[in-house]
Structure 1
Amino acid sequence: MTATGTAPLATAVNVDSANPAIRVSDVPVGDDMVMRVNQSGQPGRPVILMLHGSGPGVSGRSNWEALMTGLAEEYHCIAPDIIGFGDSTHPDPSPQGFVPNMTLRIDKLIRMLDELGVDSVTLVGNSMGGMFSLRLAQLIPDRLERMVLMGSGGMPGLVPLPGLVKLVTFYDDPSEQSMEDLLMLFVSDKEAFGPSIRDIAGERYAVAAREDVRRSHLGTFAPGEFWTFPEEVLAEISHRTLVVHGRDDAIVSPEGSYYLAANLPNADLYVLSNCGHWTQVEQAERFRTILSDFMEGRI
């Protein structure tokens, strides 16, 4: 497998002129691969590693920019484009199937932490990023302080909602309009977020239209085994965990978060009303408050 990344091998850190709170760098993670990493706040502060979910055109920046900016005074936030997303390396050929892709991506996330010299993190994982968080809790438990799982997958036997099916099959009929239709499913209040969604859809479609992004998406969702976390596996993950879910989520059923909260030994569940799959976007202030309270031990 040849790694043909969209970003050069480099470690230079650049301040983003569009948002000076964000620093951008390309971190080498082995096998000629690099990971595009967005950071805010200063090293030495408590580290929050923000892991985005799946979907055409998604990236660390698009998922987390507002939250990273809002937390920059208190924490050191790290939001990578996971391998196979955004401006990180897109392997060519792509691994085929969810499990091979997850295995590669988890390995490179750990390598990224090593390269950045990060020994202790709080994980905030959205959707597929929640599944990454659970797997990291198994593999590097001593480096994890706590976890926040937002609309996470991982429940065995959970029937995919139509919104998730639309996400997975996006490239059957890709267009900017189909991107807008998909992203509208991510929020509960479509009237309030409609104009913003149209802008985001244009930006995301420009990324999703790239051949390397398409290749990685199709490889991720090629036929094969899906990664889940049985009850006995969750019972061994003892980290303090906050499970968050939008009550109106049309992508991942809240049933999945009830399952996680019931089987992780030290988990609490927080269900947000008037909220879909994009907790950090649709209920940004509420979620930032919840996250800060969790980090500081107030909840």
Structure 2
Amino acid sequence: MNPAITSGHEVHSQDVAAGGHRLRVYTCGEPSHPAVLFLHGSGPGVSAPANWAHLMPSFAEDFYCVAPDVLGFGDSDHPDPAPTGGMPGYTDARARSVIALLDALDIDKAHFVGNSMGGMITLRVAQLAPERVDRMILMGSGGAPLAPGEDLMKLITFYQDPSPAAMADLLVRFVHDPGLFGGEIEDNARTRVALATREDVRRSHLATFDPAYPPVKYSPEALTAIVHQTLVLHGREDRMLPVKAGHYLAEHLPNAQLHVLPHAGHWIQIEQAARFTAQAKLFLSE
């Protein structure tokens, strides 16, 4: 395993065989601590370290942090043919690979932190194997019965124009304040396009968002049956998944609390990292 961060607690990467697939997994902290599984969202060129590496060392003071490139993303396996959209589809395939990852790492039960698509996978794990889930944090999570808006459609249809300029335009839609990127938006876009334009990444994205399948939606009845303690976090200015998605989940999950963060978009963990970390650690430590 190779360190990804050299100050404080180090983030390490390894390949793990889980459920018949190879997952690239990033870990930080002591395995003897309570485990937290971080699940990233979807999008062209997304990966676990891009979403979580900057946060994991601070969580590692109290938790064993595990952040996989979800099946069909980043440097994990990309099945061919890829699982298609909807449920069971890719949601089940990815949820079952997460459960297999817990088995491979000898983790009986973990807290889950799911961003966007990662929130939908978290909910599916809670349905399939509720005994493996402790507390859940759903951050800008999907799963509400909402039609995709203009900004989410830009993500879905990225491969109509997979250029650095299109990627730069997409990235600023994830945050409330594009100034967060400083003068580095073009560099960030070029780095992410290099991953997004790999053929395996492209194939997985197009299968995930196959228009022949409806978006993943959790009914009120399905959510009511998920009884885990849950923190729903949503940015008030989220352009990818509007804040009413968070209200819907919090309304129907029986043990959920909702925190709406002002001046925040879809990437709370990046745009308001200190606030996210404080709220998450407080909730997970209760």
Bin for the TM-score computed over the shorter chain: over 0.9
CA deviations on 1:6-58 (whole Å, 9 max, x unpaired) are xxxxxxx3333767711111001233x20000000110101110000000000
Structure 2 residue matching 1:286: 3-state secondary structure: helix
Q: Contact 2:163 / 2:193 at 8 angstroms: preserved in 1?
A: yes
Q: Which residue identity lines up with residue 83 of structure 1 in the other structure?
A: L
* AA in 2 matched with 1:252: L
Partner residue, 1:74: 62
Is 1:186 the counterpart of 2:158? The answer is: no
Identity %: 49
| Alpha-carbon distance in structure 2 between the residues aligned to 1:236 and 1:171 | 37
Shift of 1:211: 0.6
CA drift of 1:212 comes to 0.6
TM-score with structure 2 setting the length: 0.95
SS in 2 for 1:118: coil
Match status 1:61 vs 2:49: yes
- Structure 1 residue 161, shift from structure 2 partner: 1.7
Q: 2:261 maps to which residue? A: 272
1:267 counterpart letter in structure 2: A
Match of 1:115 among 88, 104, 114: 104
The alpha-carbon distance between structure 1 residues 172 and 59, as it changes in their structure 2 partners (threshold 3 A), is same
Counterpart code for 2:99: I
Which is worse superposed, 18-27 or 45-54? 18-27
Which residue number in structure 2 is paired with residue 176 of structure 1? 164
Aligned-CA RMSD value: 1.4
Q: Does 1:259 align with 2:248?
A: yes
Residue 133 of structure 1: how far off its partner (Å): 0.8
Q: How does 1:70-219 map to 2 (within 5 A)?
A: 70-99=58-87, 100-156=89-145, 158-219=146-207
Letter in 2 for 1:275: A
Following superposition, the deviation at residue 220 of structure 1 comes to 0.6
Question: Mind listing any 5+ residue stretches in structure 2 that lack a counterpart?
Answer: none
SS at match of 1:78: strand
Whether 2:229 is the aligned partner of 1:240: answer yes
Alpha-carbon separation, structure 2, partners of 1:292 and 1:68: 11
Give the partner amino acid of 1:183: L
Shift in Å, 1:202: 2.3
For 1:17 and 1:132, locate their aligned partners in 2 and report how far apart those are by CA, in whole Å: 27
Paired residue for 1:250?
Answer: 239
Amino acid at match of 1:290: Q
Amino acid at match of 2:47: S
Correspondence 1:21 to 2:2: no
SS where residue 231 of structure 2 aligns? strand
- Asked whether the 8 Å contact 1:187–1:193 carries over to 2, the reply is no
Alignment of 1:231 onto 2:220: yes
How many residues are matched?
283
Distance 2:147 2:39 in 1: 23
Give the C-alpha shift of residue 225 in structure 1. 3.0
* C-alpha separation in 1, matches of 2:163 and 2:73: 18
Which SS does the other structure have where 1:21 is aligned?
coil
Cα deviation, residue 228, structure 1: 1.1
**For residues 184 and 262 of structure 2, what CA distance do their matches in structure 1 show?**
20
| TM-score for the superposition, normalised by structure 1 | 0.91
Partners in 1 of 2:184 and 2:266 — Cα distance? Answer: 15
**Structure 1 position 196, deviation (Å):** 4.3
Unpaired runs of at least 5, structure 1: 1-12
Per the TM alignment, residue 94 of structure 1 is displaced from its structure 2 partner at its CA by 1.6
